[in-house]
Amino acid sequence: MEQRDKLQTFILKSEEHIVAKCVEIVKNYRGFNISLLTNNSWQLTINNYSNLVVEAITLFSETANQNYSNPYTEPFLIAVRKERDKCLHNNIPLHIYISFLKIIRKAYLNIIENFYFVENEKQSFKNIINQCFDSLEISFTNAYDLVVKHGSLKANQNYSEILFEIIFEKINYPILIINSSFEIVRSNKAAKIISQNWDSVRRRSKKDGSGSLQTRIEDFIISDRKESNFEICLRINNMDGFFQATLCSLKETGNVLLSFIDVSRWKELEIRLEKSREKAEDSDKLKTSFLANMSHEIRTPMNAIVGFAELLTMSNPSPNERNEYLNLIKKSSNDLLNIIEDVIDVAKIESKQLKICPKNTVLFDILDDLHKLYSELLVRNGKEKIKLILSVLDHEKGVSIRTDPKRLKQALSNLLGNALKFTEQGQIEVGYKVAENKLVYFFVKDTGTGIPYNMQEKIFERFIQVDNDLDRNPYGTGLGLSICKNIVNLLGGNIWVSSVPNKGSNFYFFLPYIETSETPSISQISTDEQISDVNFRGFRILVAEDEDINFYYLRESLRNTGIEILRAKNGIEAINLSESDSKINLILMDIKMPEVNGLDATRYISHTRPDLPIVAITAYAMESDKKVCLEAGCVDYLSKPVMREKLIQILTKYLLKEIAKSSV
């Protein structure tokens, strides 16, 4: 790039520096408030000069004999007109503007001084800058004089009057002069539409009770004030707009000058900003309440887990007490796991990873299981007086539809759990009905505290609870109903609530009635009795797990199965053991491990031993995490915490395949 091109680029990139320099100089200038000259347009002004200087440098390079003192050179004329109009608009005296030009000239010369190039070129470019600004000063002075002396100057009209004429016509917002009879004496071009609709504009009363524009003008005249500013809504061409209006008294004529600035867009932005602020504040309060509730919900089961575990180690409990402690620890662990599952489900919903797996589902079986479970919970929570009713017609107990049984059960369970929390007496009813419109309607009704009318539309939003006060609502994360709504929507239905405060709530949702002839699948292993009888003697598995406590749990879970267990503490050990021991029948692979992670180890092993099944065991629980594991070469996926029943099912599934292969 030539030196001239580099200089042009450098000048354009230095505009911010020039602006800062000008602001600094103007602050110290005591002769006049030069900031008026470029008020709210520093960047635009400097940009004009930068373009002018760059064009001058270009002309100098292309035409060595260019006469820069010619005031009518096109780039100079453009800059002069812009700055002239600005000065006339702000009533800036000529000598003040010339002083300002000298400040700008000095800033550009400093830029040239700090630019790296040989000395003779530096001086040449300095000459260009000086010639440019010399021409600018001459051109501006001539143009200024021409406008003042030979513009629309009328007989006996002074300098202030010509400035008023120019400003009145050039300004781009409506200005009107009104007499005492509220008639328009004069208006500028920008006020054309208002002038044409003046009668309706001035007489229209405002809904806010502030009166019409004419009333405002009357009050202003009576008050004998010099100036008044107010915001007003005007209807022009059948459209409402917000305006900032200014009234000024013209004492010499007895008239009033009225000007408008359209602030409709800013008003709209202000309203939107206020709504956004309120929404952000509400969201912040909800999240704060959610975190407080979440802390409470997590610490409650953790307190039982830690407390009873400590009692087991410190005291010498009787067999009955020991069993009671263990049952409480197990219950609290399940409660904690349910909270974590809710949070994970919300994350899945947000990332659109909550998957629906439709199967042939017998509806009565799901409700019957929930009825038994929550009947026990009522007794366990000391609410035996509450009657739990399963309401299904006899001829509809065999209804089977194609849907996701797990998610349907989760939605109904959340609604029943919600009813259980907020009902102290009376009854809770759960059931479904098959409608003629190919829909199945589910319902959960209670006689609890009910939901205020103003909360019934919001109750399905995340973090929303009827009462976020921990003193009055000491349980719940505010996620359950939000999860219900999303699950029902994903299943192709819709959910709503009907509630009367202090009398109870009725939750309803419907699902499409999709018939199917498939037979519901039955798990290979479904009871604890079957699990305890499993015998894996003769099989050898490798557990790749770096955490001692996790390995200890897996080892103890499989103690009575007769299976042989090897351990690898990182991915490298897992790879080495898989290569050195051909009798390993299956690998349980943790994903997050030191040295080499589980995914990379799986990719290597699945390549060297493609027939060796690898099951991922990880704390990552999102659907995308499962996909990554399967793509790496895992045949299946277990998310932590690993339940013993699920672990046995997985081992049975793949080790039985080994037996089948060996028998062929």
- Tell me whether residue 519 is in a domain: no
Domain boundary among 105, 138, 160: 160
Q: Write the CATH number for 647.
A: 3.40.50.2300
Domain boundary among 479, 512, 545: 512
Enumerate the H helices of 178-263 as residue ranges: 192-196, 198-203, 213-223
- Among 414-428, 520-534, 565-579, the minimum mean pLDDT is found in 520-534
366 and 491 both lie in a single domain: yes
Structure confidence at residue 427 (pLDDT)? 94
pLDDT per residue over 168-226, tens digit each? 776 778 888 888 888 888 888 888 888 888 887 877 655 554 568 888 888 888 887 88
- Tell me whether residue 167 is in a domain: no
Give the C-alpha distances (Å, rounded to integers) separating 530 from 554, 565, 652. 19, 22, 12
What does the pLDDT average to over 587-611?
92
231 and 295 both lie in a single domain: no
What does the pLDDT average to over 583-592?
92
- Tell me whether residue 522 is in a domain: no
Burial-class residue 370 by CB neighbours within 10 Å (0-12, 13-18, 19+).
buried
**What's the structural domain count of the chain?**
5
296 and 425 both lie in a single domain: no
Q: Write the CATH number for 40.
A: 1.10.490.10
Domain boundary among 262, 287, 316: 262
- Among 23-37, 144-158, 443-457, 564-578, the minimum mean pLDDT is found in 144-158
Locate tokens 């009947």: which residue?
A: 375
Locate tokens 């790496």: which residue?
A: 632
127 and 74 both lie in a single domain: yes
pLDDT per residue over 324-335, tens digit each? 888 888 878 887
pLDDT category of residue 70 using cuts at 50, 70 and 90:
very low
Structure confidence at residue 27 (pLDDT)? 62
Locate tokens 């200890």: which residue?
A: 552
pLDDT at 353 > cutoff 60: yes
What does the pLDDT average to over 466-493?
71
Are the beta carbons of 519 and 647 closer than 8 angstroms? no
What does the pLDDT average to over 611-628?
83
360 and 345 both lie in a single domain: no
Are the beta carbons of 15 and 43 closer than 8 angstroms? yes
Q: Write the CATH number for 467.
A: 3.30.565.10
444 and 563 both lie in a single domain: no
For strands 540-544 and 586-590, give the pairing: parallel
395 and 490 both lie in a single domain: yes
pLDDT category of residue 20 using cuts at 50, 70 and 90:
confident
The two three-digit tokens of residue 143, written as one number: 């143009």
pLDDT per residue over 537-546, tens digit each? 889 999 999 9
pLDDT category of residue 344 using cuts at 50, 70 and 90:
confident
Q: Write the CATH number for 256.
A: 3.30.450.20
- Amino acid of residue 362: V
Are the beta carbons of 617 and 588 closer than 8 angstroms? yes
325 and 367 both lie in a single domain: no
Q: Write the CATH number for 298.
A: 1.10.287.130
Those residues whose C-beta lies under 8 Å from the C-beta of residue 475, and which sit 6 or more positions away, are 293, 296, 297, 421
Are the beta carbons of 85 and 105 closer than 8 angstroms? no
- Tell me whether residue 165 is in a domain: no
108 and 189 both lie in a single domain: no
Please state, for a pLDDT cut of 70, what percent of the chain lies above it: 74
pLDDT per residue over 273-314, tens digit each? 888 888 888 777 767 766 766 776 777 778 888 888 888 887
DSSP string, 327-383: HHHHHHHHHHHHHHHHHHHHHHHHTT------EEEEHHHHHHHHHHHHHHHHHHTT-
Query: Which residue range forms the structural domain that includes residue 430?
Result: 355-512
pLDDT at 469 > cutoff 60: no
- Tell me whether residue 520 is in a domain: no
7 and 154 both lie in a single domain: yes
- Tell me whether residue 233 is in a domain: yes
- Tell me whether residue 267 is in a domain: no
- Tell me whether residue 125 is in a domain: yes
How far is 664 from 361, CA to CA, in rounded Å? 36
318 and 464 both lie in a single domain: no
397 and 341 both lie in a single domain: no
